[in-house]
Structure 1
Amino acid sequence: MKSFLCSNARSFIAVSAVWLSLGAQAADAAQIVVGQVAPLTGPEARQGRAYSAGMQIYFEAVNKEGGTNGHTFTLVRKDDRGQPSDTVALTRQLVAEAKPLVLAGYFGSRNISDLAASGLLKDERLVLVGYRSAEMQDETPMLYSVRANLRDELAQMTAHLATVGIKRLGLLYENSLNAQALVTAADTEAQKAGVTIITRASYAPNTTVVSEAASRFIQAKPQAILMVTSGAAAAAFIEAYRSLGGTAQLLGHSGTEIEQLSQRLSDEQMAGVIIAQVAPSPYQIKGRLTKEFSDTVKAQQPEVPLSFAMMEGYIAGRVIVEAVRRQGAKPTREGMASALHSMAPYDMGGYSVTFRPTQHTGSRYVELSIVSGLGKIRQ
């Protein structure tokens, strides 16, 4: 009898310990708020909403499986309409109201520069994971990019043109505060590839006023034009340039999305446009990441169309969840940076990111795709 009672007592203690452990985990579990201020309406809304959807579908998939270390994720969004004047103010509002652990999915060269310069991220100890900018970005504290930088895109585009014998290039860019850094980088990469940028044209920030730029390239007659612009400005330029009879090869950086071009342009106008992609194609399954993305999209059927921006948002969501997982039971804002720095590399299956204290650009993945005569992406 004594042995039986002792055995029962031991079992009771063991079971109680399990329940206490589970209870402690449940008590520590938190709802992780991810904050996003992005263009959800306006010219860049298609990409902003797609990026948001990519993060959201991954968070929902994680939550359905019980979260990470018991923590679940919610995405809180505010719409800056792409206007830099609204981005910082709305971020302050979001931080005060929702108390996010991390920010993600921001858009716009000036928007991101103003946010970094405001001191808000440093003061609140908040990191921003995943953003899109059409200008050169230095390694900036609190900003973490899950994509290749613009210099890598320029290097890939100019090297490709050199291999096919195209030597005389034009450069279209947004005339932002840091535009000169972009022009210098483009000239440097062109020189490395053995090609020359013979003419440059810019347009006013956060606009699509590109008619003068189109006329300038018609006069200069470059063999190819590099478009480092927003997606909306790229669509407007292609339309204007082609309507004037322009025949140069057109190459867009990763902000030039086929999905956005197709809203404005005909298949004939888009045919032959080359786009630099900094994320794996969402339309093809080539590894574990793209397979899991495809399965998640099929299961959840998001309201916005499939796109490279959605894939990029999905990647950003995975990086955030992994950074939370690495912190264990009690993730903190300060801990996010340390967890990101431990990703050296974090392999998602066909795509990986590497961060260090002095390296905040996580990837160098760049692949060129071409738009077919049917208006579809061909890798």
Structure 2
Amino acid sequence: MRYDILGRSLLALAASALFSFSAHADPGVTDTSIHLGMSSPFSGPNGEYGITMRTGVEAALAEVNAKGGVNGRKITLTALDDGYETERSVANTHKLIENDKVFALIAYYGSSPTTAAMKVFSAAQVPLVGTISGAGTLRDPVNRYMFNLRASYADETAAIVKHLLGIGITNIAVFYQDDGFGKSGLDGVTRTLAEHDLKPSAVAAIARNATDASAAVKTIAAANPQAVVMVTLLKPTAAFVTAMHAAGQQPQFVTLSPIGADLLVKDMGADKARGIGITQVMPYPWNDALPLVRDYRHAIGVVDKTAEPSYYGLEGYVAGRVMIEALKRINGEPTREKLVAALEQAPIDLKGFRVQFTPDNHSGSRFVELTILGRNGQILR
């Protein structure tokens, strides 16, 4: 009899322990915190992109933590530097999931790094919210654990080509980065031109993280283009435009949102960057007309008094806010599957930027706006 009672007591304790473990079965969740992970470049030629985005994420998390967190849990972040290198991004993803035990991932950077990392976080069933990439490889087929906040490169390049054709420009060349980002943009330009029975007048590539654009300039200048669509990042874009001007070429230069308009002006100088067109996939971050932008500008000032508003910073802030809103929707103990369901549940309206995911579509936005660099480095809409 005594052994039966003891046995039942042990079973009850085991069941209680199992229930307690189940309540916190997913890593990264404690009674007081939820731990997120991020991999982006914080060093190298593209380091400013990741640093600016991280500030935006941190601002969103600090904002909610100052109000007590999400259902009493503070949101913490571990951010690792991958230098915009694919192998480092993959290694960081393994570390964040397996060693740091993060609950979910946020704000990655780059088409090739994120596409490679997706194999890791998908196998581990860990959601990623937001990456600086419009690549089709992250959108089709839909991956259950990849949530894209920005428009695709196909959306951006279609907007660029349609604008150029609309003002009578048909001699269009393409300068692209030889990786997933650049090839996706090249495909978008080629596809949209084909819809009008046109082809790029010249195409030239540059390796990722390279800055010598002389070979590309020689190829593209030979076509004497009216416009060049540049699917490249900061350093190669600046080098290419500078070299084209030196070669006596003055086409309309247009590039995509990953360039970081404010960073391009800082790198090239306002005079040399003037007239470059840039697509944007986030609202204009220098105007307080939108409540979202007002919140963002205030939030970054709290975490870093020297921080300046930027598209990259706003995108990081949006990623943080979307993650927070999804976490608020979860009933009971947070799990990764509940997070996925919460993201797919209904549109998330940030009062200036609307994101909507469904089980069949994890492309949250198709917002694209064309801007141009004006005098004194101003970004004009």
Is this a same-fold pair by TM over 0.5? yes
> Which of 59, 62, 74 in structure 1 is aligned with 2:61?
59
Q: Structure 1 residue 313: deviation in Å?
A: 0.4
Q: Deviations over 1:252-294 (max 9, x none)?
A: 1001112221232132210100110000111112322112212
Q: Matches of 1:231 and 1:365 in 2, distance apart?
A: 22
Q: CA RMSD, aligned part only?
A: 2.1
* 1:86 Cα deviation from its structure 2 partner: 1.0
What's 2:124 paired with? 124
Confirm or deny that 1:152 pairs with 2:155: yes
Q: 2:208 aligns with which of 202, 205, 210?
A: 205
In 2, Cα distance between equivalents of 1:135 and 1:210: 23
Which residue does 2:360 correspond to in 1?
A: 358
Report if aligned partners of 1:40, 1:79 keep a CA contact under 8 Å in 2. yes
Q: Is the 8 A contact 1:39 1:80 kept in 2?
A: yes
Cα gap change, 1:28 to 1:177, in 2 (>3 Å): closer
**Cα-to-partner distance string for 1:57-89 (whole Å, 9 max, x where unaligned):** 010010001112112111111111111121111
Equivalent residue, structure 2, for 1:82: 84
Instruction: Report the secondary structure of 2:254's partner residue.
Output: strand
> Secondary structure, in 3 states, of the residue corresponding to 2:222?
helix
Displacement of 1:301 after TM fit?
Answer: 3.5
Question: Residue 340 in 1 paired to residue 308 in 2?
Answer: no
Q: Could you tell me the TM-score, scaled by structure 2's length?
A: 0.86
Q: In 2, Cα distance between the equivalents of 1:222 and 1:312?
A: 33
1:143 to 136, 141, 146: 146
How far the C-alpha of 1:307 sits from its partner, in A, is: 1.2
- What is the aligned partner in structure 2 of residue 281 from structure 1? 284
Q: Does the 8 Å CA contact 1:134/1:230 hold for their aligned counterparts?
A: no
TM-score (norm 1): 0.87
Query: Cα offset for 1:178?
Result: 7.8
Cα distance in structure 2, aligned partners of 1:129 and 1:53: 16
1:268-347 matches, within 5 Å, as 268-343=271-346, 345-347=347-349
- Alpha-carbon contact 1:162-1:193 (below 8 Å) kept: no
The structural deviation recorded for 1:180 is 5.3
Could you say which residue in structure 2 is the equivalent of 1:349? 351
CA distance in 2, matches of 1:39, 1:177: 16
> 3-state SS of the aligned residue for 1:361?
coil
Please list every run of 5 or more consecutive structure 2 residues that lacks an aligned counterpart in the other structure: 1-22, 24-28
Task: State the one-letter code of the partner of 1:377.
Answer: I
Unaligned segments of structure 1, at least 5 residues: 1-23
Give CA deviations for 1:191-232 in whole Å, capped at 9, x if unaligned: 346764211111113323322112211111111111111223
1:127-276 alignment runs, 5 A limit:
127-133=127-133, 135-137=135-137, 138-139=139-140, 140-141=142-143, 142-176=145-179, 182-192=185-195, 196-276=199-279
Cα distance in 2, alignment partners of residues 204 and 175 from structure 1:
5
What is the CA-CA distance between 1:28 and the residue it aligns to? 7.3
SS of equivalent residue, structure 1 residue 335: helix
Q: 2:73 aligns with which of 67, 71, 78?
A: 71
Amino acid of the structure 2 residue aligned with 1:123: A
Residue 125 of structure 1, CA deviation:
1.2
The letter of the residue matching 1:293 is: Y
For residue 310 of structure 1, report the CA deviation from its aligned partner. Answer: 0.1
